Chain A
Amino acid sequence: MTLAIVNGHLIDPAAGTAAPLDLLIDGSVVAKIGTGLTGDQVIDASGCVVCPGLVDIHVHFREPGFESKETIQTGCRAAARGGVTTVVTMANTAPPIDNAGMVEFVQRRAREEGCIKVRPAACATKGMKGEELTEMAELHDVGAVAVTDDGRDIPSSWTMRRVLEYAKMAGLPVLAHCEDPTLGAEGAMNEGFNSTKLGIPGIPKAVEEIAIERNIRIAELTGAHLHIQHVTTAEGVNIIRRAKAKGINVTCETCPHYWTLTDDAVLEFDTNAKMNPPLREAEDVAAIIEGLKDGTIDCIATDHAPHTATEKNVEFGFAPFGIVGLETLLGLTITDLVAPGHLSIERAIALMTCEPSRICDLGVGVLREGGPADVCVFDPNAEWTVDPERFASRSRNTPFTGRRLRGLVKHTVCDGRLVYSA
């Protein structure tokens, strides 16, 4: 059984390809890249971009423990609908993914019910308590691709040093949620004029910047690979830029909401504009875009964080942090980065494919003959309106409801299987 994707514009940044080329898939692998190809089944990709399946190294699929928000099955479907074929799942489930058995559980559930590739991250410390190291060597052996206590930082600098040192030995990157544990305590939005107006306790930008700087210093001390999650502030980008210039082994990501929204989105007390780190200000949005342009920011991730409508439909102060992101990732990238000319479409695709794959050494995000057939076909000019009711995710918590976006995923293929068609 072969599948041909024809008449499309193939963009594969890892291979340096950007040309009208067809793709022939045989079974789970790419059989041929060329022209005039055909197969048992044919997808006409006229007017569309054909690229490696997108890679998102920061998602919360909530299983086990919070299955009313999302499951591995529904999370995978949301990913497929967003053109994403590989995700790295965070470990802050209940119980947390802090031992080999839990890593195996996530992978088993993905095999049983998932339609895309789920690569678990494991906790950096047991129980995500920030105290004892997890068994990282074994975690690596059974399939964990990174360690992280995402959702919180590791408060003790001593422990953070040991995490980085040990993860380096285990061959795993440390995905760091950078947040000073006391400075922003009780905060629910960015601290600034808007938080003053609304009377909502603020989270100063320094909360994030102090922790980025500290974690980078410890990365420098240890030589380990530190990956900074969800960068949101102008100074955060500057700190990382300087660290990279010094040759420190640091990478970082940002998320679509940090280049599309400011804390003005909170002015209506919309709990779907509540996330951690919080939405910042216009100057930060500009700096995030600049960081994406000059390569300081290595990749785009969504921090897909589903919560039920019931949980979000409460007073702003009581609502949990986080928004879903998988199904708006491509649209927000095309609409607000590519269409205005900040990034070429090739670079934007790189930031969602080979670059994140490289950070967690996933071995995906490229199309080559004999390699896995993970493909995203999207129409870069098609316009659509974000309608959460149509999300495949179990949750609907997005601040982008009703927004017109450009860039629509038409087909997603994972390991040669058509897992989504618009």
Chain B
Amino acid sequence: MREAPSTVWTRKDLIGIEDLARDELELILDTAPQFVEISRRESGIKKVPLLQGRLVVNWFHEPSTRTRTSFELAAKRLSADTLAITSSSSSEVKGESLHDTLANIEAMHTDIIVIRHSCAGAPHILARRHRSHIVNAGDGRHEHPTQALLDAFTMRRHVRKLRNDPDAGLDGLRVSIIGDVANSRVARSNIWCLNKLGAEVTLCGPTTLMPVAVDRMGVRVTSRLQEALEGADVIYALRIQLERQQRGLFPSIREYIRLFRIDNDSLRHAPAHALIMHPGPINRDLELATEVADGPRSVILEQVSNGVAIRMAVMHLLANSPRAQAAASAPQTQARQGLGS
């Protein structure tokens, strides 16, 4: 690994980007390159024993293929044992409380719990009460920290390549996030992450899909796509859920496409070097035209590859940093010290 980490990891959990400091974000980003290399090993042995004998539980309350697979692969490449639990988020259906379920899982001596949940704050309340390292894999519309980290990591690699500067960061990078910001945890985590790393964020989407007062997060907001694309170094399209249209949040797919789709036509306004990113899964030809998704500027599949490395870095830091381990073995309190959010 080239960079020497500038700080040490001290948190028990990774709950959100909001409360992380820039040097903590950079520590994760600087820890990831070694894991990119492991996944690409020519010997074919894509494994290191950093989490050998540890138990990682993927506990997903919402359907997810990409994120769950990515975490599972990350754990396996670190030689951890993995267990996948899927449950419904509906409190009426499950009968057992979230805390009780986790207490039962923990009774089997888990080390890391990766949780996705439809309710904002679910990982936060678990982290406060339980001993395991909690990794937020997406909570409601709140945060999706590993997505933001893998996005920043992907951007940084390209900036370094483009500027031919192996130490370049995201300072001054212009990132435009397009689409359904209101319902997007990816957007929120990316805003926190990019701002902390010095990038300039523009949000663009229909006014009905823009959360109130979001400008106070330190972003520029527009509903004119051309404005968002002009001068953008990175164009980040968000997934549009078809049910939003049915719920009356925008009039039609047709009009959404007309105003907000990233395609060769709208990309006329963007600089030639602008990267195209998307958290997946893509609605082809809705928010992103096929020609763009599969085009030369697209780094969407690279995001997916980097996701595994970032999640390896996160789990390694949580499980193997002495102070994070101490935090996990100390009795949990209501206090926030040492918690990830």
Chain A interface residues (CB < 8 Å from chain B): 191-193, 195-202, 204, 268-269, 310, 313-318
Contacts and interface: CB of A to CB of B under 8 A. Distances in A.
Contact of A316 (B18, B119, B188): B119
Given A199-B140, A199-B185, A315-B91, A310 B120 contact: no
16 contacts: A193-B213, A195-B211, A196-B211, A197-B217, A198-B120, A198-B142, A199-B120, A200-B142, A268-B124, A269-B124, A269-B125, A314-B91, A315-B98, A315-B121, A315-B122, A318-B119
Nearest to A188: B120
Interface centre among B89, B99, B119, B122 (most CB of A within 10 A): B119
Contact of B18 (A197, A202, A268, A314): A197
A307 to B, nearest CB: 14
A198 B212 contact: no
Contact of B336 (A193, A268, A310, A318): A268
B141 interface: yes
Interface string B181-225: 000010010000000000000000000000111101100000000
Contacts of A197: 18, 188, 217
Contacts of A317: 118-121, 140
Nearest to B143: A199
B65 interface: no
Contacts of B89: 315
Contacts of A196: 211-214, 216-217
Nearest to A401: B334
Contacts of B91: 314-315, 318
The 4 tightest CB contacts between A and B, nearest first, are A199-B141, A269-B121, A315-B119, A199-B142
Interface centre among B99, B117, B125 (most CB of A within 10 A): B125
A195 B125 CA distance: 17
A313 B142 contact: no
Contacts of A310: 97
A266 to B, nearest CB: 9
A415 to B, nearest CB: 41
A317 B117 CA distance: 11
Nearest to B124: A269
Contacts of B217: 196-197
A310 B95 CA distance: 11
Contacts of A316: 119-121, 125
Contacts of A313: 97, 99
A196 B217 CA distance: 9
A202 B212 contact: yes
A198 B121 contact: yes
A269 B117 CA distance: 14
Interface of B: 18, 89, 91, 97-99, 117-122, 124-125, 139-143, 185, 188, 211-214, 216-217, 336
B76 to A, nearest CB: 29
Interface centre among A192, A196, A315 (most CB of B within 10 A): A315
A353 B336 CA distance: 40
Contacts, number: 67
Contacts of A191: 212
A199 B120 CA distance: 6
Nearest to B91: A318
A389 to B, nearest CB: 14
A268 B89 CA distance: 20
A161 B153 CA distance: 61
Given A313-B99, A315-B98, A315-B122, A200 B140 contact: yes
Given A192-B212, A195-B212, A199-B185, 19 more contacts: A193-B212, A193-B213, A196-B211, A196-B212, A196-B214, A197-B18, A198-B121, A199-B139, A199-B188, A200-B140, A204-B212, A268-B336, A269-B120, A313-B99, A315-B117, A317-B119, A317-B120, A317-B121, A318-B119
Contacts of B336: 268
B141 A193 contact: no
A31 to B, nearest CB: 50
Nearest to A310: B97
Contacts of A195: 211-212
Interface centre among B91, B121, B336 (most CB of A within 10 A): B121
A398 to B, nearest CB: 14
B134 to A, nearest CB: 13
A316 B124 CA distance: 10
A315 B188 CA distance: 20
Interface centre among B18, B120, B143 (most CB of A within 10 A): B120
B216 A314 contact: no
A314 B98 CA distance: 7
Nearest to A317: B119
Nearest to B216: A193
Interface centre among A201, A268, A269, A314 (most CB of B within 10 A): A269
A195 to B, nearest CB: 7
Contacts of A200: 120-121, 140-142
A204 B211 CA distance: 12
B185 to A, nearest CB: 6
Contacts of A192: 212-213
Contacts of B121: 198, 200, 269, 315-317
A191 B182 CA distance: 12
Nearest to B188: A199
Nearest to A192: B213
Nearest to A191: B212
A314 B143 contact: no
Nearest to A271: B125
Contacts of A193: 212-213, 216
A178 B110 CA distance: 48
Contacts of A315: 89, 91, 98, 117, 119, 121-122, 125
B254 to A, nearest CB: 26
A318 B96 CA distance: 13
A6 to B, nearest CB: 44
B235 to A, nearest CB: 23
A313 B129 CA distance: 11
A195 B141 CA distance: 10
Interface centre among B18, B91, B118, B336 (most CB of A within 10 A): B91
A250 to B, nearest CB: 29
A203 to B, nearest CB: 11
A200 to B, nearest CB: 5
A269 B125 CA distance: 7
Nearest to B117: A315
A204 B213 CA distance: 12
A412 to B, nearest CB: 32
Contacts of B118: 317
A316 B142 CA distance: 12
A268 B216 CA distance: 19
Nearest to B339: A268
A196 B125 CA distance: 19
Contacts of B125: 269, 315-316
A191 B210 CA distance: 13
A365 to B, nearest CB: 39
